[in-house]
Structure 1
Amino acid sequence: MPDRKRLCFRSDYFGDRAAWLAFAGLLEDIFGIDVTVLDRLGGPDPTSVPFAWFDGAGRCIANITAFSLPLVVDGTFVRAAGLQSGAVRPEHRGRGLYRDVMEAALRHCDAEGFEAVALLTDTPDLYRRYGFRALAQHRFTGSAPAGGRAGPLRRLDIGSEADMTLLGRLLDGRRPVSDRFAPLRQKEMFLFNAALTPDIRLDLMEEANAVIAWQIGEDGGFELLDIVGAHIPRLADILASLRIAPPRVTVRFAPDHLGWAGTAVPDADDMVLMLRAAESLLPKQPFALPPTAGF
C-alpha cells in the first residue's frame, strides 16, 4: 500500500470554500477549465458528492465526483449517476490514488441504488476494469425540412440574470429531448457548457416556450445542440422561426421528437461515453448525449 500518511482523504467537501477552490485549481491545472464559473450560475450540482485526496498544503491532488444523472433510455426511466472531474496531478500518478477515489465513488453509487453509472472520457481503457462499456454515439444529418410555421423569437443572453432565471426554470421543467437516450435533468451542466461555449446561440421560441441551443457547424451549416422546454417543437418550425433555410442540418441528439428523421452518422468525437449498467439498460437505437449535457 503506497504511503498515505501525509495525505487526507475527503468526500462531500464542496461546502468548504477552501477545498472547493483547491478542487477548481486541480481542474484548471489538468484540463484548463475554470469551474468557478459555476459560482455565478448558482453553484455546482447540489447532488454532487466528490471524493478526493488532499496533500498537507491543502492542494487537491486526485478527485472524482459522483452526481445524480436521471436518464430516459428507450422510453424507460433509469435512475443513473454520472462521474465527472476525474483527475490526478502528474507527480502523484502511479500511486493508486485515482483507484482509491474511483472505488469510493462506485461504492457510493452502489450504496445509493443507482441502476447505471455514466462517464465521458478520452481514455476508455482505464475504465473497463470497473465494468464500464463504451457506447457508440451518432450525429443525425439530412436535408432541412420545409413548410414550418414561424413564430416570435428572442435571443437569450448568458450574462443576463433575468434570462438565466428563465432558462433555469425551463431546465427544471424540461421534457427529455429524446426518448432514446437523454438526461431528465442536468441544469447546472447546461448552464456551465453554455457559458463556456462562446459560439452557442440560445433562442427562445416564445409561443412554444422552448429554448433552442444551436450553432453554425464547421461546414457552415445549421447544428442543433439541444432543446429546453416542456414541449419539443418540430424542426421545420424551429428553422422557420429562426428564418434560416440551410441546405442540410445536423442534430446532435436522436431526433425522435422533431418530426424529421436524419441519417445516423457515427460521431468521431474524442470523448467516449461509457456506461456501467446491465445489458438490458443499454440503448438499442442510435443516439447521442447532447453537447450541452456533456460532463
Structure 2
Amino acid sequence: MLEALTLREGYFGDPAAFQALADLLQDIFSIDISHQMKLGGPDPTSMPFGYFDPSGRCVANFSAFSMPLVVNGRVVRAAGYQSGAVRPDYRGQGLYRTLMKRAFDWAERGGFEAGILLTDKPGLYEPYGFRTIPQFKFYGAVPQADLPVPRARDLDLKQTADLHMVQMALDTRQPVSETFSVVRQKEMFLLNAHFDPDIRLSLLAEDDAVIAWKPQGQTSLQILDVAARNVPPLGHFVANLGPNFQNAEVFFPPDRLDWKGAARPHQGDCVLMVRGLEPASLTQPFILSPLADF
C-alpha cells in the first residue's frame, strides 16, 4: 500500500492538492482551512510535505513555514510547524516521522535558528529537541481613561472593505510585545478570527489599530491581540471598546500596554514547544497570542 503513495512537497500551487490537505485536516481535526482562500490565501512561506494516494487523497502531511518572532527585543528567524496529520489506516508505518524529518531538514537548510509548534502530543517532538514552555496570561484592573464616548467600530471579515482594513493593519503592525510575539502571522490571525465567532475585531480609526477581544460579562474582557503601527495603551483602547469594563485578561505579554497585569498559568488544549532558543531568553512569563495559534 505504501508503494502506491506519492511524496509531494511545496504543493500549494496545485488547488486540488491544497483541497486534499484541507479534507485531511477536516476529517482528522474538524477544521476547514479552505476558508483561507476567502481571506487572502495561505501563508506564502508555507512548505507542506505530504503523501498522496493514487486518487489524489492526502493521507499524511506535515508543514513548515517562516514564523519570525520577537524574543526579548531581538528578531528570531524561527520556523513554525503545523498541519501534522495521518489518516488512521496509514498510521504506524513511519510516514509522519519521514515528513517531520523532511520539514526539519528544510528548516535547517534554510538557516532558521529556532523552531516552534503547538501540540497535544509533546512526546512526539521531544526526541527532536523540542521542549515544552509554560505560558502565562495576565490579569488586572483596567486603568481609567478620560473618554466620554467609546469610538471603536466592529469589523466583519465577510465584508471586503473590513477584511482589507484588517489585512492592512496586520501588514504594517508593530509586534504586540518585545518580550515574546510574532512579527507578522497575518494568515493565521485572519483564520483564527474566522474560526471563533466569539472573537470581536474592533477598529480604532484614530490609532490605526485593530483590537481582537472577547467580552466576559458586563465588566470584564479578554484582550487577545492588537494589530497597530504603534500599540496603544490598554486603558485607552479599552475605553474605546466600552464604558463599563473594569478588569482585563490579556493573552500576550503586556510590556507595550502601559499596564502591568498579574501573570497566571494558562492551561490550553495544546502546549507550546520550542527548540533552538536559549533557556535564558525565555525566563519572563509570556503567552503566544491566540490569534497566532497555528
TM-score scaled by length of structure 1: 0.95
1:211 aligned partner: 210
1:117 corresponds to which letter in structure 2? G
| 1:114-153 matched pairs, under 5 angstroms | 114-149=112-147, 152-153=151-152
Identity %: 48
Indicate the larger mover: 121-130 or 140-149.
Answer: 140-149
Q: Which secondary structure state, in structure 2, belongs to the residue aligned with residue 57 of structure 1? A: coil
Q: Is the 8 A contact 2:209 2:228 kept in 1?
A: yes
1:284 aligned partner: 283
- Residues 12-55 of structure 1 deviation map (CA, whole Å, 9 limit, x = unaligned): 00111111111111000000001110111111000000001111
1:216 is displaced (CA, Å) by 2.1
Q: Is the 8 A contact 2:39 2:190 kept in 1?
A: yes
Q: Which runs of 5+ in 2 are unaligned?
A: none
2:43 corresponds to which letter in structure 1? D
1:93 aligned partner: 91
Matched, 1:184 2:183: yes
2:67 aligned partner: 69
2:13 corresponds to which letter in structure 1? G
Q: Which secondary structure state, in structure 1, belongs to the residue aligned with residue 232 of structure 2? A: coil
Q: Is the 8 A contact 2:129 2:275 kept in 1?
A: yes
2:208 corresponds to which letter in structure 1? N
1:10 aligned partner: 8
- Residues 187-246 of structure 1 deviation map (CA, whole Å, 9 limit, x = unaligned): 110111111110111111111110111002489720000000101111110121112333
Quote the Cα distance in structure 1 between the aligned partners of 2:259 and 2:79. 31
Q: Is the 8 A contact 2:5 2:54 kept in 1?
A: yes
Q: Which secondary structure state, in structure 2, belongs to the residue aligned with residue 129 of structure 1? A: helix
Q: Which secondary structure state, in structure 2, belongs to the residue aligned with residue 104 of structure 1? A: helix
1:247 is displaced (CA, Å) by 3.3
TM-score scaled by length of structure 2: 0.96
1:151 is displaced (CA, Å) by 6.1
- Residues 76-104 of structure 1 deviation map (CA, whole Å, 9 limit, x = unaligned): 11011100101011111100000010000
1:278 is displaced (CA, Å) by 3.7
Q: Is the 8 A contact 2:138 2:262 kept in 1?
A: yes
1:194 aligned partner: 193
1:75 corresponds to which letter in structure 2? G
Q: Is the 8 A contact 2:64 2:81 kept in 1?
A: yes
Quote the Cα distance in structure 2 between the aligned partners of 1:56 and 1:202. 43
Quote the Cα distance in structure 1 between the aligned partners of 2:61 and 2:123. 19
2:231 corresponds to which letter in structure 1? I
RMSD over equivalenced CA pairs, Å = 1.6
1:152 is displaced (CA, Å) by 2.8
Q: Is the 8 A contact 2:133 2:271 kept in 1?
A: yes
2:224 aligned partner: 225
Q: Which secondary structure state, in structure 2, belongs to the residue aligned with residue 175 of structure 1? A: coil
1:162 aligned partner: 161
Q: Is the 8 A contact 2:219 2:245 kept in 1?
A: no
Aligned residues: 293
1:281 is displaced (CA, Å) by 7.3
Quote the Cα distance in structure 2 between the aligned partners of 1:217 and 1:161. 28
Q: Is the 8 A contact 1:74 1:284 kept in 2?
A: no
Q: Which secondary structure state, in structure 1, belongs to the residue aligned with residue 118 of structure 2? A: strand
Quote the Cα distance in structure 2 between the aligned partners of 1:90 and 1:217. 39
- Residues 236-276 of structure 1 deviation map (CA, whole Å, 9 limit, x = unaligned): 10121112333321000100011110000010112111111
Q: Is the 8 A contact 2:218 2:244 kept in 1?
A: no
Quote the Cα distance in structure 1 between the aligned partners of 2:200 and 2:222. 10
